[in-house]
Amino acid sequence: MLDKLGKKKYALPAVAVIVLCCGFSFMMYPMLSSPMGAIMGGTTGAILIMPAVMMTMICSILLSILFKPAKNADQKTRLMAYGIQLGYIVVLSLLVSIAAPLVAVIGGLSIPFGEIMLFLWVASFSIMALFVGAFNIARPVGIVVVATTMLCGMFTGMILPVETLPGFWQHFIAPWAPQRYMGEGLISIISGKGAWGNQAIAFTITAIVGVLLTILAFFIPSMKKLKK
């Protein structure tokens, strides 16, 4: 297991960088140059949210595949694997936070790059921690969490303002969608109001949940052995 981790940890940065560069370059630049891209970027911040969330999801899946310890791994190996995951979450979320606003700048949008980058770093880190933590519990759990987040959040802060959504969506779906808080934070930053109120609380809770899921995943094999 340790040998496999040693080999994989050098391959991941190259894979991640390729995915990030190709993904935001080919997917988002045509969108930026279209009228719909300008509308979405101006009203909901989707031009920043969409690439950030997509790249966060891709990196989370890569991490869960490359660094999830084997079922029969001992505690030391599991601890090392999850530690490596955490280190890469920090680095990859930083890459995401740089790449997403860079897309907007390339597209000609004038934005406060530094403040947005810092905000997106926190947001991407928390969402990535949640996704990876869910995958650490079990692959089906990770798939459900990622799919639910992407589908429910697609219309919550990414395409339509929360206020224009049906009542059920506003009250029961939007409060759980990280894209909503990303959209609110980005709009607040662009308008000069800052973004460290409700958004900071939401992303802190998201990160804590992700870490707790990974901690639970660490102890699950030991609990199974005790039952036997």
Query: Over the stretch 65-112, which tens digit does the pLDDT of each residue have?
Result: 888 887 778 888 888 889 989 998 998 899 888 887 877 777 677 778
Sequential DSSP letters for the chain: -HHHHHHHHHHHHHHHHHHHHHHHHHHHHHHHTSHHHHHHHHHT-HHHHHHHHHHHHHHHHHHHHHHPPPTT--HHHHHHHHHHHHHHHHHHHHHHHHHHHHHHHHTT----HHHHHHHHHHHHHHHHHHHHHHHHH-HHHHHHHHHHHHHHHHTSSSSS-GGGS-HHIIIIIGGG-HHHHHHHHHHHHHTTS-S-SHHHHHHHHHHHHHHHHHHHHHHHHHHHHHH-
Mean residue pLDDT across the chain: 76
Q: What is the pLDDT at residue 212?
A: 95
Q: Which residues of the chain have pLDDT under 50?
A: 1-7, 25-26, 29-30, 32-44
pLDDT score recorded for residue 4: 47
pLDDT for residue 35? 41
Which pLDDT value is given to residue 206? 92
Please tell me the pTM assigned to this model: 0.80
